[in-house]
Structure 1
Amino acid sequence: MRDMESLQTTVTKLNSVLEIERKIIGVKFLFEKSEYEAADAKPLTNKCPYCVMVKSAMAGVSIKASLEQFGCRGAINALGMVIPDELSKSGRSALQLGLYQDIVVAKSARNDMTFCNHITYGVMLKPLEKFTDEPDIVIMVTNSYNAMRIIQGYSYMFGTQKNFKIGGNQAICSECTAYPFENNDINISTLCSGTRFWCAWSKNDLAIGIPYNKLEDVVEGVLHTVNATEPLSEKLRIGKKLKENNITDLEVDYDKSYYCNYLKK
């Protein structure tokens, strides 16, 4: 288990380098009823879409929910709250919603979606800095610039992620939670129409799901690509924030960037 003090430092580093307007949140699967009851978060009392739970956690609220509180059929399937029924597995439910042109495409798309291969009692969601034990998945909803920087940080540490899974449907539950959990890898999502309606995300927002076990490395990658990737205006802001937060891991080079230094003479 990682040191929780290290988690706090990781969150501080990322918020020093990037301007992320919402809280970075953690998601933890609670497989047993006793684990759910002991979880340090407020239980929901009404049905709610999973993506709304995510947005609430990004506003600072600590939440836990069992099957009875889930208001979205797609999420309960994707997160392993129930065993998907034949309507879902055949692709017929998505076809009935008008998302695909025929049953063959719908079935193919359904086969390519990631669904958690487990049955869980519930989930807990809260801002990352409020966790006292390790979450399973970390989720951010942010602008495309920050998404680029997160991916650059990942690439710095691990190389290219060659298996992004983006379908424009079931964005928060499947693409940003189930996929990172089942594949132990980062994923990016353009969000979907459902979550954009229920959560009123900006048209410029993207979502990112990261296994918690990779977060510290990704943030170190973001930190160590500042000098190569950021323009002077951002470096001035970053340098000030690093100093304010007593982060000494990086000496900002205000005269360096890969796209200026490697221009053909």
Structure 2
Amino acid sequence: MDISKLNDTISKAKCSLELKRKIVGMKFLFTEEEFKYADAKKLRAKSPYCVMVKTAMSGYSIKATLEDFGCLASARNLGILEADEIITSGRYHSKTGLYQDLITSRNVISNITMCKHKAYGIMLKPLEEYAENPDVVLIVSNPYNAMRIIQGYTYMYGTHSSFKMIGNNAICSECTAYPYESNDINVSLLCSGTRHMCGWGEDEMGIGIPFNKFSTVIDGLYATVNPIEPNEKKSIIESKLKEQRRDDLDIIYDKNYYTGLYLK
């Protein structure tokens, strides 16, 4: 995607959603040389991946290798560290109290998405800072915005019937590895670990979108403003459209699909 198209997509997202955190792009870096020249600052201290994501959502551009990961589960899920047998067998997680027995633990671990590659590192930065295409787009926001994004997806692609969530491995697997491996959107209710580490609000949840679908999803979001949004939100969106100097969406008040005004 060229820069002008990306900027246009971000502008549409900002007009259509009320986001308090930046939309972030995540890119895998597969070689030491690629990592060296990636346009971001290397972390100076170990950090969980979800904290890295939150840092990028605050406006910072960062990159990390295995030595920078303060959470090895995320390194495994992102394909930076290979999972050993104690992990894949379910034995490690069966001792945490998260699952009732070894068989359940093994089932959960076998279904957690881990990237099927060996990456050297990752880069995370606000989406508008990218000059090249990232791999996955990450959004943390409230359920209303998550609903709107899914409505935009459905407008373009129809029903998505393969959401994956377990309430664990939220930002690393559910929001990053799974969208990357499945080439499709996913929603996460987040997990206790990332809520503790990052201090996300209780009203926040995560969305991961493959970058190659992001523009289309936002186009769907933009196209559904009039049939879905109530007047008070339309007023806010209209003000944002003026701020962004956009004239490609005419706001229609007093009409949306659930009032029946479109059905005549």
- Tell me the TM-score normalized by structure 1: 0.97
Partner of 2:83: 84
| Aligned mates of 1:225, 1:137 — CA distance in 2 | 23
Residue 115 (structure 1) aligns with? 114
CA distance in 2, matches of 1:129, 1:258: 33
Q: CA deviation at 1:263?
A: 9.8
Q: How does 1:106-255 map to 2 (within 5 A)?
A: 106-255=105-254
Q: Distance in 2 between matches of 1:264 and 1:158?
A: 23
The root-mean-square deviation of aligned C-alpha atoms, in Å, is 1.3
CA distance in 2, matches of 1:152, 1:113: 26
CA distances 1:182-219 after superposition (whole Å, capped 9, x unpaired):
00000000000000000000001000000000010000
Report the residue type matching 2:148 in the other structure. R
- Whether contact under 8 Å (2:40, 2:61) holds in the other structure is yes
Structure 1 residue identity aligned to 2:141: T
Structure 1's consecutive aligned runs of 4 or more residues displaced over 4 angstroms after TM superposition are 262-265
In the TM superposition, what whole-angstrom CA distance separates every residue of 1:194-249 from its partner, at most 9, and x where no partner exists? 00000000001000000000010000100011111100000011111112212222
Which sections of structure 1, spanning at least 5 residues, go unmatched?
Answer: none
Deviations 1:143-166 (A, max 9, x none): 000000000000000011100001
| In 1, Cα distance between equivalents of 2:160 and 2:217 | 12
Distance 2:45 2:238 in 1: 44
* Counterparts in 2 of 1:197 and 1:236: CA distance versus 1, 3 Å: same
Q: Which amino acid aligns with 2:81?
A: V
Aligned identity (percent) is: 52
The AA in structure 1 aligned to 2:101 is D
CA pair 242-97 structure 1, distance change in 2 beyond 3 A: same
Q: CA deviation at 1:264?
A: 9.7
Structure 2 portions without partners, runs of 5+: none
Letter matched to residue 24 of structure 2: I
Deviations 1:4-61 (A, max 9, x none): 1111111111011111000000000000000000000000121110000000000001
Q: TM-score, normalised by structure 2?
A: 0.98
